[in-house]
Amino acid sequence: ILQSIEITATSSGNWVVEQALLKSRDAIREGIPLYKPLEEEPIFPPMVTRMIAVGEETGDIDGMLTKIAEFYESEVDAAVKALTSILEPLMIVVVGGIVGAIVISMYLPMFKIFELIE
């Protein structure tokens, strides 16, 4: 477990998470259950620490970590879907404005030429 925590910490790409996991690793090395040092870190939500505690008690920590990962993956998917639903109409308006500006810039000189001809 200590090695996997260290690998997770260094590969997280987030300095705050890395420091929290490395500090937790040191506490776990002393025999403290995994969830206790994680509870002290504000970066980890209470749901995560509670699920890890349940996983430690039941002996199914890998199953609980998988459930945590699936939960947050669905949260990210929902956030991306919401952001996409907001950005889609905005992009349509922007592209429509650009196309409209191009059309106007093409036809405006033609209308001025027709005025000069009359």
Per-residue model confidence (pLDDT) at position 99: 97
pTM over 0.85: no
What residues does each domain of the chain span?
Answer: 1-59, 76-118
Contacts by 41-44 with C-beta closer than 8 Å and gap 24+? 43/16, 43/17, 44/20
The amino acid at 100: G
Per-residue model confidence (pLDDT) at position 103: 92
Per-residue model confidence (pLDDT) at position 55: 92
Give per-10-residue mean pLDDT for the chain (118 aa): 88 89 89 89 91 92 93 95 94 96 90 82
Spatial distance between the Cα atoms of 33 and 59, rounded to a whole number of angstroms: 12
Per-residue model confidence (pLDDT) at position 95: 97
Per-residue model confidence (pLDDT) at position 110: 86
Chain centre to alpha carbon of residue 58:
29
Spatial distance between the Cα atoms of 9 and 49, rounded to a whole number of angstroms: 16
